[in-house]
Structure 1
Amino acid sequence: MRRGHRPSAAPQGRIRLWGRHAVTAALANPERRPAKLWATREAAHALALAPSLLPVAYADVTDLARLVPADAPHQGLVLDTDALPDRWLDELFEAAEAGGERRPIVVLDQVTDPHNVGAILRSAAAFDAVGLVTQDRHAPPESGALARAASGALEAVPWVRVVNLARALEEMAAAGYWRVGLAGQAGATLGEAMVPGRLAIVLGAEGEGLRQNVAGHCDTLARLPISARVESLNVSNAAAIALYAAATRG
């Protein structure tokens, strides 16, 4: 690798992942098509990869740092890979039919920060959500920063991107989902708004909240019962609380 050269991104059509959890989860995902792995010898040895499965370029820590954004914690592993294939709403509904009736769908309305979306994916995996749904144009793309924040959950939680979020919520209603939108001004608390069975948790962007049209396609709006000393929670924290409430509802 030429000294002083820092590639800004993976080659066109691919994404660059880094960090132990993100890279190992991607390599274990049969839907991924990895292209090239850079690794320190120590990190590569810990992976125990068959050499024929993937080209591995050995590098020292300093060289790996040139492949990723400044101060990104690569932990000795950097991977170029194709993006995940597109997923569809019907796949989430089929997963529910197969025994996941109580597993919620998480819907994000214009949440664009990759660290927030990654953290929400991690919570979705922790509480066994059936999938994540976002609008295609107002959500972050797959990226190393998002995958790092998700700590492997990008590979575990199906992520469906739709053109029209309101229409997707209509399809969820037709599939039997009760759609609860989180809104700080709502009269009911989240616990009061929960129902048994299929549930979609809808969260809006920090600050702006749910757009009017999206809120209008929810069956009910609910708030988290937080103290008046705090105006609101980060959207990833709110998602984790809502997912816990969904997992422990009666």
Structure 2
Amino acid sequence: MAAGRKRQGATRGTGGKVRRSLEGKGPTPPAEARHWYKDKARAERITREERGGASPRKAPVRARKSEDAPEYIGGRNPVVEALRAGVPASALYIAARIENDDRVRESIKIAADKGIALLEVDRGKLDRLTEGGVHQGVALQIPAYEYAHPIDLVRFAQEAAEVPLIVALDGVTDPRNLGAIARSAAAFGAHGLLVPGRRSAGVTAGAWKTSAGTLASLPVARGANLTQALQGYREDGLFVVGLDGESRTDIGDMTLAAEPLVVVVGSEGKGLSRLVREACDQVVRIPMGAAAESLNAGVAAGIALYEVSRLRRG
């Protein structure tokens, strides 16, 4: 051993701390697992936004309401009008300590007479049910409509021993038009309406009100694809006639009125879609003066159904 060198060894009284310190603390955790990460990321984001280098934050996507969920009408006038029109309802919600007027009293009376549940709730509950709309302390719950299958409409005509007459809607997105068409369909002996599953009006509170109660007896069927549903009707022996202002054949010259029939009504302005038009056996128009470019879908359906009824009688 060289002179002047001391023997090295463990330091007395360390208790093995030096040895444990050499063992390490495991793998380095990722940045997002460290306590300072969120604060740092937030600070960096704020800095970027202040400099204008960050893209604007996207608004949260609102979940699409299920078609099988009930609908709520809010407001004293809309509620009492819906009850007068016979719109089917499952519950009438009244805010606690509401100031009654004639509309509220009439709504409560109609609901009680029809066996509709009366529920007293706070205004916060009404705000949620009507999704922040103006409810004036009153809301009416309308259950989801139960649609028929397209083939059911043919069966209803057969059970009545009548020549089938069905009205199909192509691109009609206003529920009030659906309600108006339902009234015309019921008036002229149609056996039901057919609506596509997408991009079309459904049986909502607005449709019920406009139909003036006729939707309670006139079935509405829904098909996933309107073109396929029309092809299915053709295979079952029905003829398809479409309304289109660009046709050269007037509706009075229609040759298929007496046959089992589907009348297809297109949207105002756009008319029939290409695939639906190609699925028609005949396309006719309602003759109009030069001053009118197109008719409302509800008006066009009423005229067409009247003409079918007239031709069948003749």
Instruction: Name the TM tier (shorter chain).
Output: 0.7 to 0.9
1:53-105 CA distance string (max 9 Å, x none): 3322589xxxx9x9699799x9xx85313212231012101111112534521
Q: Quick check: 1:37–1:54 contact (8 Å CA) kept in 2?
A: no
Tell me if 1:181 matches 2:242.
Answer: yes
Structure 2: which 5+ runs fail to align? 1-64, 95-102
Partner of 1:49: 113
Equivalent-residue separation in structure 2 for 1:58 and 1:120 (angstroms)? 36
Question: Which has the bigger relative contact order, CA under 8 A and spacing at least 6?
Answer: 1
1:220, distance to aligned residue in structure 2 (A): 0.4
Question: What is the TM-score normalised by the length of structure 1?
Answer: 0.77
Partner of 2:70: 14
Q: How many residues in Structure 1 have an aligned counterpart in Structure 2?
A: 228
Q: Quick check: 1:16–1:143 contact (8 Å CA) kept in 2?
A: no
Aligned-pair Cα RMSD in Å: 3.3
Tell me if 1:111 matches 2:172.
Answer: yes
| 2:195 alignment partner, SS class | strand
1:21, distance to aligned residue in structure 2 (A): 6.5
1:197, distance to aligned residue in structure 2 (A): 3.0
Tell me if 1:85 matches 2:141.
Answer: no
Q: Which is worse superposed, 93-102 or 125-134?
A: 93-102
Equivalent-residue separation in structure 2 for 1:68 and 1:47 (angstroms)? 23
| 1:94 alignment partner, SS class | helix
Partner of 1:210: 272
Quick one: which of 229, 244, 248 aligns to 2:306? 244
1:144, distance to aligned residue in structure 2 (A): 2.1
Q: Evaluate the alpha carbon distance shift between residue 88 and residue 232 of structure 1 in structure 2; reply closer, same or farther with a 3 A threshold.
A: same
Quick one: which of 165, 174, 189 aligns to 1:128? 189
Equivalent-residue separation in structure 1 for 2:260 and 2:108 (angstroms)? 42
Equivalent-residue separation in structure 2 for 1:204 and 1:19 (angstroms)? 31
Q: Evaluate the alpha carbon distance shift between residue 123 and residue 195 of structure 1 in structure 2; reply closer, same or farther with a 3 A threshold.
A: closer
Equivalent-residue separation in structure 1 for 2:265 and 2:282 (angstroms)? 12
Equivalent-residue separation in structure 2 for 1:136 and 1:164 (angstroms)? 7
1:241, distance to aligned residue in structure 2 (A): 0.4
1:161-210 CA distance string (max 9 Å, x none): 11111111111112221211011111211121143131111111111111
Equivalent-residue separation in structure 1 for 2:234 and 2:247 (angstroms)? 21
Partner of 1:148: 209
Question: What is the TM-score normalised by the length of structure 2?
Answer: 0.63
Q: Percent identity?
A: 32
Q: Quick check: 2:91–2:142 contact (8 Å CA) kept in 1?
A: yes
Equivalent residues in 2 for 1:20-99 (5 A)? Answer: 22-23=82-83, 25-27=86-88, 34-36=90-92, 40-45=104-109, 49=113, 53-57=115-119, 79-99=140-160
Q: Quick check: 2:80–2:106 contact (8 Å CA) kept in 1?
A: no
Return the index of the structure with the highest Cα Rg. Answer: 2
Partner of 1:3: none
1:103-146 CA distance string (max 9 Å, x none): 52111111111222221122222223111111111112332222
Q: Evaluate the alpha carbon distance shift between residue 220 and residue 125 of structure 1 in structure 2; reply closer, same or farther with a 3 A threshold.
A: same
1:218-245 CA distance string (max 9 Å, x none): 0000011222232221111100101111
